[in-house]
Amino acid sequence: MTQVRNAWVAANGVELHVAEAGPDDGPLVILLHGFPEHWRAWREYFAPLAQAGFHVVAPDQRGYGASDKPAGVKSYDLDILAADVIGLADHFGAQRFIVVGHDWGASVGWWLATVAPERVERLVVMNAPHPAVWREAMRDHPQQRRQSGYVRFFSLPWLPEAVLGAGRYKALASAFDQAARPAAFPAEEIGHYRAAWSRPGALTGILYWYRALLRKRFAPSRTLSVTPPVLVIWGEKDPFGIKDLADASLALCADGRALFIEQATHWVQHDEPELCRAAVLDFLHQPVQLPS
């Protein structure tokens, strides 16, 4: 049985709780969860990656779980979130590292591969477009604008916290009901998430991510490039993001490929864990395709 170890790491001015597994001298794989999860989003991924020889590290990102929850929207700018991950890699002595991210974790991964490509060896993103593509689509694409209505709601003061916290976090927990696999989120796991959401400052911390995104200025996405190899895994029944955004994000990549899963939802890594794990491991072992 693969042992998962817990630790707290000082990185970029905050203390981050991390779960890790695998050999300390293996290639570093950083698993980045999305909203509204924490490190346990990857509970089914530690063993396969560790057994393949990778050093697996899954943090509670700032604002989440047992990690610090600094006050203020500015503390959740994408540049700061990316610097947290670089701080983790520095702590573990890795000049280059692999990122696997879902939802917001994938957004951070995209941004890392854009602003610090020399640090990112490979990137796997699950159901999240490049953040610059996302922002443009929220403004310009009618369907995505409708599907991103919750982002505008999350930008309001205090009301989102009240709504998300009501009824023992009923609204947050009900988001998992959209998963395609009935056993994707067992009651025990929902209990872990409720405990994380109940920590002081947690609801505001996880909402700061959205509030900071709406304040950030991006260059036009067409001017951006992503040079590390990228694998996009996308559940096509995502109610929050349209497939066009995956295609637009892949267009930024020098070496990009995609796995579209027709019956999977936004929770693709939970809907199809075996398929996703196999795709990730295959991608991590493939040779790099150099531009012609």
* In the block, residue with structure tokens 């695998």: 22
Residue 101, exposed/middle/buried by CB under 10 A (0-12, 13-18, 19+)? Answer: buried
CA dihedral 18, 20, 25, 26 (to 10 degrees): -120
Report yes or no: 92 and 10 within 8 Å, Cβ to Cβ. Answer: no
**Long-range contacts formed by 159-163: CB under 8 A, 24+ apart:** 160/203, 160/207, 161/203, 161/204, 161/207
Find the catalytic residue in 68, 103, 238, 271.
103
Find the catalytic residue in 210, 238, 270, 271.
210
- Residue 273, SS3 per DSSP: helix
CA 238 to chain centre: 15
Reply yes or no on whether 210 is catalytic: yes
| Residues forming the active site | 103, 210, 266
